[in-house]
Amino acid sequence: MKRVLVIDDDPSVARLVRAALKAADVEHTLEFCTDGGQGRAKAAQGKYDLITLDLAMPLMDGVQALEEMKKDPKSARVPVVVVTAKTDPALHARVEKLGAAAVVTKPFRRWELVSLFRLLLAGGQIEPTGGAESEAGDSSRGDSE
């Protein structure tokens, strides 16, 4: 059973993530929290297989939460999918450089999450420059940013 943490101030995102996991045939438990500080604290427990993270949240934003999660040995290796309404390419590049496995822009299609979740929960990786559409095989990861 896979454990998934959704960090987003919009509860509808948790429902969409649950639907995508179900569509991907992933047995899972899902936990939800509404701010980056709470999410970082939960991630530090080291019990999750996947985290989705919004960037614009109260108390601690997603960028700061991601930075802290990737510094913590208990959460550093957990794939984080950033799900955000922000479309700034520089911001997307920044969170990828901080360690996000992928960035998905809201509104998104459920199949984008289904594909990402299948890949990441199977131990796969995403090429760092293109989000959901740029899945990479084991040896095709490029050096450019």
* Residues 84 and 103: beta-carbon distance below 8 Å: yes
Per-residue pLDDT at 108 = 87
Looking at residues 16-21, what average pLDDT do you find? 94
Domain count within the chain: 1
Residue at 59 is within a domain: yes
Domain that holds residue 11: 2-133
Whole-model pTM: value is: 0.85
Q: Could you report how far apart the first and last alpha carbons of the chain are, in Å?
A: 34
For the stretch 22-39, pLDDT in tens is 999 999 999 999 999 999
Query: What CATH code is carried by the domain that includes residue 16?
Result: 3.40.50.2300
* Residues 110 and 23: beta-carbon distance below 8 Å: yes
Q: What is the dihedral of CA 108, 114, 116, 121, to 10 degrees?
A: 150
Per-residue pLDDT at 81 = 97
At residue 70 the predicted structure's pLDDT band, cuts being 50, 70 and 90, is: very high
Residue at 143 is within a domain: no
Residue at 144 is within a domain: no
User: How far is residue 51's CA from residue 53's CA, in Å, rounded to a whole number?
Assistant: 6
Residue at 21 is within a domain: yes
Computed over its alpha carbons, how large is the radius of gyration of the chain?
A: 14
Residue at 126 is within a domain: yes
Per the model's pLDDT, the better-predicted residue between 121 and 126 turns out to be 121
Residue at 105 is within a domain: yes
Residue at 31 is within a domain: yes
For the stretch 131-141, pLDDT in tens is 433 333 333 33
